[in-house]
Structure 1
């Protein structure tokens, strides 16, 4: 396969950006209910990059240690979804969820459980929305909490073929009045990327037939 066969054209990119935006916005609404604060979102970016490039991208933005909630998903297309935080931020997120009155020792003991639940709500909400709009369903694994830098989170160098092209959907969010910021990424292999392209083309054909909606409008 050549690179040109694996890239998204402008219309496909616009459609995928719109789906990610809708999915993350709905997931953010769930997070807002959990923390009781407004959740601010950036405009999603969609890139086809290597796992190494994805690790470098998150490394450019965050120099501190990271924590990620990972969930594998499968169906018509498959991959791994990650909800990523700077590790220091994760304590603030847990406090926002379980309450400021909880002492530091209890926050530490509940940290992984609270992070896993947060990731489960957000990642399921985001991917579920995207799949539904593509007339598909996805199965999600149980959330797993992982600590490390970008190379660890994106499995760089673990296998000889681990640096192949991946689909990197990147969006960051912040919680108002809290020192919390995070990122959502989804990694997909080449066959899944090709399948997603086909599903996006079907989606574009459906929505452009509706004069009330146009991709990228």
Structure 2
């Protein structure tokens, strides 16, 4: 079982790398949200494809899902999950809309959600590339119109032994003391996961300061 191949220390290192990237993303997001933003990785788990698709489909009816693929040396994706309430709050805070109709998104609202996903995924990918010395990039975010499994097929189909490593990230932004949480799922295929572990195992932890990314 792949779970046995990751130690607590390695899990903590991966979490710390992601949290560094998310701290940078939070600063960029704060400029749009005009207030304090906190992003943290509370959970890392290895799950199989069925469980992943089940998890995503639970959100599908009640959330707008924005997907950004991670390509290059690593293969993965981020999914940001926006509920109606999130859309209303973000529209008020970032677009200055007072009355936000529920239902179909306006072009401006969809652009805003795509931009938020772009900022967060972009900052995360840049920091991971710096720390892990990997050549990776995020593809432009998209709002899949059909069933999300179809949209994820590239990642799933190319890797029949795919056991995704899933990170749940809670994005919390505060505006006028009101807090809004956005779930974000970040996942990599098993080949990428093993690659990341290999890079981490080759770190000289006595000399490596994760914050030194230049």
Query: Does TM, normalized by the shorter one, top 0.5?
Result: yes
- Deviation sequence 1:11-51 (CA, Å, 0-9, x none): 21111010111111111111111111212344431111123
Q: Which residue of 2 aligns with 1:189?
A: 189
Distance 1:4 1:79, change over 3 A: closer
Q: Which residue of 2 aligns with 1:49?
A: 47
Q: Distance in 2 between matches of 1:150 and 1:125?
A: 24
Aligned residues of 2:22 and 2:40 also touching (Cα < 8 A): no
Structure 1 residue 153, shift from structure 2 partner: 7.6
Kindly tell me the number of residue pairs found equivalent between the two proteins: 205
Structure 1 residue 53, shift from structure 2 partner: 2.6
Q: Distance in 2 between matches of 1:147 and 1:131?
A: 30
Q: Which residue of 2 aligns with 1:11?
A: 9
1:46-195 correspondence runs (5 A) = 46-57=44-55, 65-101=62-98, 104=101, 108-146=106-144, 164-177=162-175, 178=178, 180-195=180-195
Aligned residues of 1:68 and 1:153 also touching (Cα < 8 A): no
Distance 1:110 1:206, change over 3 A: same
Q: Distance in 1 between matches of 2:145 and 2:89?
A: 16
Structure 1 residue 112, shift from structure 2 partner: 1.2
Distance 1:200 1:147, change over 3 A: farther
Question: Runs of 5+ in structure 1 lacking a partner?
Answer: none
Q: Distance in 1 between matches of 2:116 and 2:97?
A: 17
Q: Distance in 2 between matches of 1:162 and 1:85?
A: 30
Structure 1 residue 179, shift from structure 2 partner: 6.0
Distance 1:91 1:149, change over 3 A: farther
Cα RMSD, aligned residues only = 3.4
Q: Distance in 1 between matches of 2:8 and 2:88?
A: 39
TM-score scaled by length of structure 1: 0.77
Aligned residues of 1:172 and 1:183 also touching (Cα < 8 A): yes
Distance 1:207 1:53, change over 3 A: same
